[in-house]
Chains A and B, each alone.
Chain A
């Protein structure tokens, strides 16, 4: 199961036939395992990883990492306030952190103003948010285990080996 998950994490479009051949399992066995991975919510979705710098429509978009300090609520801790934040479609990811701040938000917008506006109007006004610190992303080198700037070329030469 772990092996199939690993293969799909690396290439979600790998065919069931190939997975079966590579793991010495029958096609039906592989189908069952994938079904279970999906049913159990282990595989959440199959999506393409896109290099945003290469997509015309999105290459000028801005990304920002925002550090937020909050006052946790007596009954819900950080969860309720987190939910209020991650419901915004602008929010691409949200993590609860140890250290100098509480929530780390990654958001995307069409322009600097857009992002600044969102932080000022939406995030910082949420009840319990004490402070925000916005850092704009200048360049992404690696994300989701993929290095965007890598050259992929087989450099091996003919050799006696």
Chain B
């Protein structure tokens, strides 16, 4: 037995485990619980893409790819991004990563020095803060809950200091489903240029936006390319979570730094996944649209149900999450979620897991069978009613 006191890295020991993970441990092996916890599509990857992977496996295409990723995939992405008015050179400004998660890690490490400040718009996905903290930066937890769960330029400017190195955005957002309106995004872009800071824009839900909304990338505003890092991937819109394909687009000079980390830590993303993703860009459009419509219908159902329960909730613009306000029940997020699992057999994630502004809210992922959603909503409604009396 190794009894050495410092046998682990202190930085890692000090990193808290994900709060989502902690909640899932409560439901392992419990088939009676309906989970609105997993942030993952309930569709399998469209068949054309699975079939493309078979083809390449059959042909024996099982090698590494270039560190950058397959050229045909990068070409496809460059072409695809023009729909968001983004222009990236597929030879040196687009890097294929192991999901968006690797891209977030690599780019944070490539831009942050100890003592830098990074503004993280919260509530947000659970990996941003711990990964930034590992770079010994000061995290500025920017609470967006007072402004409809998206940051405003006016409020952001108040927390920018000479040490501010970067802003982390996610739109449409996990966990709230909210989008930053284009007009606000334009103002944030002005701020970014004025103070010369990086903006990390996680756009992995860009394809999943509802009604007549259009995704807008902060990188598309004039003069923004030198300050923008676009993060996107195939997991959500193409239902490819298990394939682990994301990508990162940024200016050439930053890419040279990110590239080093990527080649040393992962070499490249899995080749069959890259072929499947390339096929998705070529012929997956219709399937993606079908899934989008299905999520939109479920969002409508969820939004209506929570509103009728008397829980205030900002209507999600995209993604597949809804983030209702449960403060009227008098419970904290954690107590609400715990009681809901134990007594009503529905798993949701307490808002506190996602950082500042999350207390008093719960995240429900509605990428689940409609009949299960209805039962889950009924059970949540019963609990809310019982607490009001």
Contacts and interface: CB of A to CB of B under 8 A. Distances in A.
Interface of A: 3, 6-7, 18, 21-24, 154, 156-161
Nearest to B39: A161
A158 B300 contact: no
Contact of B21 (A7, A21, A156, A160): A160
A3 B24 contact: no
Contacts of B23: 158
A161 B300 contact: no
Contact of A3 (B27, B241, B293): B293
A22 B18 contact: no
Interface string B283-315: 000000000010001101100110000000000
B38 A22 contact: no
10 contacts: A3-B293, A18-B301, A21-B305, A22-B301, A23-B297, A154-B368, A156-B38, A158-B25, A158-B27, A159-B24
Contact of B42 (A3, A6, A24, A156): A156
A145 B354 CA distance: 40
B126 A160 contact: yes
A24 B298 CA distance: 11
A161 B20 contact: yes
A23 B40 contact: no
Contacts of A160: 18, 20-21, 126-127
Contacts of B305: 21
Interface residues of B, number: 28
Contacts of B293: 3, 6
B298 A158 contact: no
Most B CB contacts (10 A, CB to CB) among A7, A24, A160 go to: A160
B239 to A, nearest CB: 11
Interface of B: 18, 20-21, 23-25, 27-28, 35, 37-40, 42, 126-127, 241, 293, 297-298, 300-301, 304-305, 368-370, 374
A159 B301 contact: no
Nearest to B299: A22
Contacts of B369: 154
Contacts of B42: 154, 156
Nearest to B19: A160
B39 to A, nearest CB: 4
A161 B23 CA distance: 12
A6 B297 CA distance: 12
A157 B242 CA distance: 11
A18 to B, nearest CB: 7
Contact of A158 (B28, B241, B370, B374): B28
Most B CB contacts (10 A, CB to CB) among A21, A156, A161 go to: A161
Nearest to A158: B24
A24 B18 CA distance: 35
Contacts of A154: 42, 368-369
A125 to B, nearest CB: 44
Contacts of A158: 21, 23-25, 27-28, 35, 37-38
A21 B301 CA distance: 5
Contacts of B37: 158
B304 A159 contact: no
Contacts of B35: 158
A3 B292 CA distance: 12
A161 B241 contact: yes
